[in-house]
Structure 1
């Protein structure tokens, strides 16, 4: 056998010792695979939606303004307006309504309908349903559907709701299969006036057209385009819509990339730790190879081959798991009835090659430093025992770490200050740089900090856990490099989870408080006339906690326009406002308004205005500027003095708190919709409502969703970090087999051995979690200040319950990660104290 073949057969490390690294790579590459497949599904969905919109269309013409006449396009035929509106319709089962998009059916030469059953609509009372709409309504060809008359533009609201006969159902489309196509129905040209109104040209600024056979659509579009008219081919319109929609996903894509990088970084720490420890255990084997004549290059080649094999196995496993996971999700979504059919996972070259390349490169890069250390093993080390690791002292590396930490934290503070002064862009950039630099500084310091931290925490746990806990603390201090690598993986996960929790909670409270300060009243209902019991009827809506009857009037305040004043007593404002400090500010002869409105009307805080009252007498009022309050408030007596009886009725309302008995499971949009239904009843004349509470709650819901998504994604990094804890403990058991056997020979019980490993896992997890929580809290506060400091008053809010949960879960996970290693340590035979530990 050749020497090269012999070298290829040499294995420094048993495969079982690389299991943790393989698992870490598999998790990360599976994450990459899922992200690639998610991107493919999003792109396919957006393209399918665009293709559904422009299916079969040769030309798309559009103008900037609505209401223009149909354009004259030389070479085109059947130039038809694209008419759309929206309504909630009901089918055979009134309990199954559907919100749909109504479109005017186009000529078959422009966009033929692909019917799965039935025929096209022709009469004024006929419609064609999309497949998804038919399934939502439970309707079939021949059934009748109803559209509320008040949702149709061309009808008398006092008449009954018109009914339509379903004459056809379209075939399922790719967009609907991917969940992107909106439910819709198509009405005939004869029904256009009923649905869209008589002046249909006022409803659109877009027209579809076809070209004669043999005509070049691109040439026709280019010749017809002018400064006021844009004409594109159907293919160009599809690409434009896809690109425009993809831009909306760019920010989300950037966030996903960040989390992928985080998971990969955590994996790199785990892999590097694995290789470092396993190669350290094989010091004598490496030295023996060097004694037998192996060169540094040959040793490096053996280590690199093992690293490459680990990367290939882990990335291949992760790629397969990622595809299977996405397929399982698609099956689950179909099983829940959210999609009409089972979709096959979109396997592409990118979804296979990219995770494989990422996994292999990740393994090779993570193994560079361990491989370099392996080549430095001297032949004489085969004849002498490996000395215990010395405690890390402050040197050049630690000095750089201190400087980086201080400069990074200083940059964070500077970024927050810049943002607060109105330079948000520079503040965010400086804050990001500061966060990265300070985190790198901490990682550089971690090896030196591990010993003191383990000593401090070990003194506490030693009192709780007795001798096993003290031995665990001593082991952690004796191997600071290995312990620091494990702690680093945990620090990454807990730092990011804490940062997101603190940042999101602070943003939620800050935005909610700012919106409450500016828009303290959830609903303001006005009208030319309101019934006497308007407040009672609106208050009966589920989700409305309080209502008060008020008034408003337009008053001349010597500005370019009249100021709309709302009048309510302090008691009424206290009942319907989300602010406790607003009611005390209301007094007779005082107008309370916000900064923007004060600027708009040219008034300032404390200014006294001499206004003409309803009876011609002079009324002196004082301006009080309150934050950015969007209403101008005064008392009923002051408004009566200024406007007399020339006032309009107003109802002010406050939403019940989400989840309260008065609110139930209704969201803000549902409450607003129910209020709108009341306003459509008799007695409400030209009534309209402003729902500021919807905006405030929507912001909170968006933040909650983003937080949930980010925490779910960060869970991957935390899972990888926990694999690192288990890996460190497992390798420590192998490394200390002789030491463990000696402990057993000296009378240590199996339970004490398991307890020792458990305390070691808890100790590592606790140190990593506490460091991560402290650093994450700083990053969360500083980061959100950099982002929002220039736009909103930031209210620092720490979610103590979530942070406590992170700490408890990290400690429990550290203990759980010690179970298998503890069982192995407990099985160590006392006789092994006399045997070599090297396997």
Structure 2
């Protein structure tokens, strides 16, 4: 007898699924808006009698669109994979019971992957509609405000389906990757609950840890080589790009090695009170869960900081090569471009923030028994609330500090490897080597945004944590 349609879709009401749909929606809408903006700008350029035939501008616009959409999809994929990994950890008991009655691990994993495809498809469709509406509204507002003549650009185009398809397939793949934990669930775990890898289990993954370290070391070597080559030719930025990609991938894969020491240092900032120590221990006891929460924010902060530092360092390199004199128009162009890029890259930071809120919420739901035990031992509702807020602050501060350091290093390396050999008038000095230039206003904005993110991320988990009744939680 087939299951009713309501029961087949009941999993959509689980914690984490709504946020995953939101992440897919933002990514798909962002891709649609970028494609529409690129197409509209290209239509304006084609209508210009002087630069309408420029193939270079068209290529630059396409490359920029692909890169920014790819970045948003990359962050969304990591957030989605982490979400499904956490969801699977919460389903450990149910999966083990199904294994006990004969279900295979692969069939369970296929079910999770199918759910990821459904989530991705829903989010991609909503994002496609939202992105198309926003694009049409943006063009309608831009023409009278900027005095642009109608260039006959139609917003509804088949190419807008491309980012939606990419988002749906990426979410499906991310759910498959995030559900790999299903293969390790045994029928004996039917007696337990949510299972997260302990510090000892994470440390025992020698193959993955060794691979992450190898990628990071190789990437760091290429990054250094790109900076050195950049003193001779601008092609050094190509080597530096691959070095940054490899090293950052190594950091993501080895996040359970990188984040715990940072979390331990940050934990000392909160003092030695019982609540602060509980918050710090919660972040360190299960490094995989904490690392999943932090790594999305690390990526978002790294991207925003990288672009800000890169553009500020570009001005420093140009100023040094020119002997201290820079055309004010050049500075204005760089500042304008920096503002646009920061706004676009901020979408990835928003996706990372959604991921943090989502994972913190799921974590509290899966720790009902633990919170119930604390309440039964005499911990007050206020202390539970402070513990959850401190845990959110613990993870976000560690993630922001790591992201600021990585973003500064990557941004400086990119600018230095690109322009280190370029001579600028009037003095035409080359090669030019400068220290990283840090724009303090964007950094301050990142810190303020982090404080806001911490408060927002803790609202829902705190409400859920304070509603836990000790007797009910311990009975689960």
What's the offset of the Cα at 1:339?
A: 4.5
Per-residue CA shift, 1:500-535, capped at 9, x if unaligned? 222211211332344355xx5xxxxxxxxxxxxxxx
The answer to whether the 8 A contact 1:23-1:314 is kept is yes
1:398 aligned onto 2:206: no
| Distance 1:387-1:272 versus aligned 2 partners, 3 A rule | closer
Aligned residues: 464
What's the offset of the Cα at 1:757?
A: 1.7
1:245 aligned onto 2:54: yes
Could you say which residue in structure 2 is the equivalent of 1:22?
21
* Secondary structure at 1:367 match in 2: helix
Mapped partners of 1:507, 1:387: distance in 2: 48
Could you say which residue in structure 2 is the equivalent of 1:718?
349
- Choose the corresponding residue for 1:471, options 273, 278, 284: 278
Instruction: Judging by fraction of residues, say which structure has more strand.
Output: 1
Could you say which residue in structure 2 is the equivalent of 1:813?
453
1:44 aligned onto 2:26: no
Could you say which residue in structure 1 is the equivalent of 2:244?
435
Could you say which residue in structure 1 is the equivalent of 2:401?
770
1:373 aligned onto 2:181: yes
What's the offset of the Cα at 1:31?
A: 0.8
| Distance 1:776-1:741 versus aligned 2 partners, 3 A rule | same
> Which has the higher relative contact order, 1 or 2, with Cα contacts under 8 A spaced 6 or more apart?
2
Shifted more, 317-326 versus 286-295: the winner is 286-295
Mapped partners of 1:342, 1:327: distance in 2: 14
- Choose the corresponding residue for 2:365, options 727, 734, 743: 734
What's the offset of the Cα at 1:267?
A: 0.6
Mapped partners of 1:438, 1:331: distance in 2: 43
- Choose the corresponding residue for 2:94, options 272, 275, 285: 285
Mapped partners of 1:778, 1:301: distance in 2: 40
Per-residue CA shift, 1:763-811, capped at 9, x if unaligned? 1111111111111111122221111111242432222443243234224
* Secondary structure at 1:249 match in 2: helix
- Choose the corresponding residue for 1:326, options 129, 135, 138: 135
What's the offset of the Cα at 1:749?
A: 3.0
Could you say which residue in structure 2 is the equivalent of 1:495?
302
- Aligned 1:51-200 pairs, distance under 5 A: none
Per-residue CA shift, 1:51-97, capped at 9, x if unaligned? xx6xxxxxxxxxxxxxxxxxxxxxxxxxxxxxxxxxxxxxxxxxxxx
Could you say which residue in structure 2 is the equivalent of 1:34?
33
Mapped partners of 1:824, 1:770: distance in 2: 28
Per-residue CA shift, 1:227-276, capped at 9, x if unaligned? xxxxxxxxxxxxxx75x334223223312321211111111111011111
Could you say which residue in structure 2 is the equivalent of 1:301?
110
The answer to whether the 8 A contact 1:501-1:802 is kept is yes
1:825 aligned onto 2:456: no
Mapped partners of 2:30, 2:333: distance in 1: 24
Could you say which residue in structure 2 is the equivalent of 1:656?
none
Mapped partners of 1:335, 1:752: distance in 2: 55
The answer to whether the 8 A contact 2:215-2:247 is kept is yes
Mapped partners of 1:343, 1:282: distance in 2: 53
Instruction: Judging by fraction of residues, say which structure has more helix.
Output: 2
- Choose the corresponding residue for 1:447, options 240, 244, 256: 256
The answer to whether the 8 A contact 2:216-2:251 is kept is yes
Per-residue CA shift, 1:307-331, capped at 9, x if unaligned? 1211111111111221122223234
Could you say which residue in structure 1 is the equivalent of 2:287?
480
| Distance 1:701-1:6 versus aligned 2 partners, 3 A rule | closer
- Aligned 1:403-552 pairs, distance under 5 A: 403-420=214-231, 422-425=232-235, 427-463=236-272, 466-515=273-322, 517=324
Mapped partners of 1:501, 1:486: distance in 2: 24
The answer to whether the 8 A contact 1:486-1:721 is kept is no
Unaligned runs of 5+ in 1: 54-181, 183-240, 521-694
* Secondary structure at 2:203 match in 1: coil
Mapped partners of 2:442, 2:406: distance in 1: 15
Mapped partners of 2:207, 2:15: distance in 1: 37
* Secondary structure at 1:336 match in 2: helix
Could you say which residue in structure 1 is the equivalent of 2:429?
none
What's the offset of the Cα at 1:356?
A: 2.6
What's the offset of the Cα at 1:7?
A: 12
Q: Could you say which structure has the larger radius of gyration?
A: 1
- Structure 1 length as normaliser, TM-score? 0.52
The answer to whether the 8 A contact 1:270-1:721 is kept is yes
* Secondary structure at 2:421 match in 1: coil
- Choose the corresponding residue for 1:336, options 145, 164, 176: 145
Aligned-residue Cα RMSD (Å) equals 2.7
The answer to whether the 8 A contact 1:450-1:477 is kept is no
What's the offset of the Cα at 1:384?
A: 4.0
The answer to whether the 8 A contact 2:90-2:194 is kept is no
* Secondary structure at 2:438 match in 1: coil
Per-residue CA shift, 1:160-208, capped at 9, x if unaligned? xxxxxxxxxxxxxxxxxxxxxx9xxxxxxxxxxxxxxxxxxxxxxxxxx
Could you say which residue in structure 2 is the equivalent of 1:359?
167
Mapped partners of 1:513, 1:497: distance in 2: 25
1:348 aligned onto 2:347: no
The answer to whether the 8 A contact 1:11-1:302 is kept is no
Mapped partners of 1:500, 1:409: distance in 2: 19
Mapped partners of 1:305, 1:489: distance in 2: 23
The answer to whether the 8 A contact 1:759-1:815 is kept is no
| Distance 1:6-1:315 versus aligned 2 partners, 3 A rule | closer
Could you say which residue in structure 2 is the equivalent of 1:93?
none
- Structure 2 length as normaliser, TM-score? 0.89
* Secondary structure at 1:815 match in 2: helix
- Aligned 1:668-707 pairs, distance under 5 A: 696-707=327-338
1:382 aligned onto 2:382: no
The answer to whether the 8 A contact 1:287-1:378 is kept is yes
- Choose the corresponding residue for 1:255, options 58, 64, 84: 64
- Choose the corresponding residue for 1:795, options 409, 422, 434: 434
| Distance 1:412-1:384 versus aligned 2 partners, 3 A rule | closer
The answer to whether the 8 A contact 1:326-1:345 is kept is no
What's the offset of the Cα at 1:389?
A: 2.8
Per-residue CA shift, 1:320-358, capped at 9, x if unaligned? 22112222323433563635679986111221x213311
What's the offset of the Cα at 1:454?
A: 1.8
Could you say which residue in structure 2 is the equivalent of 1:661?
none
The answer to whether the 8 A contact 1:389-1:478 is kept is no
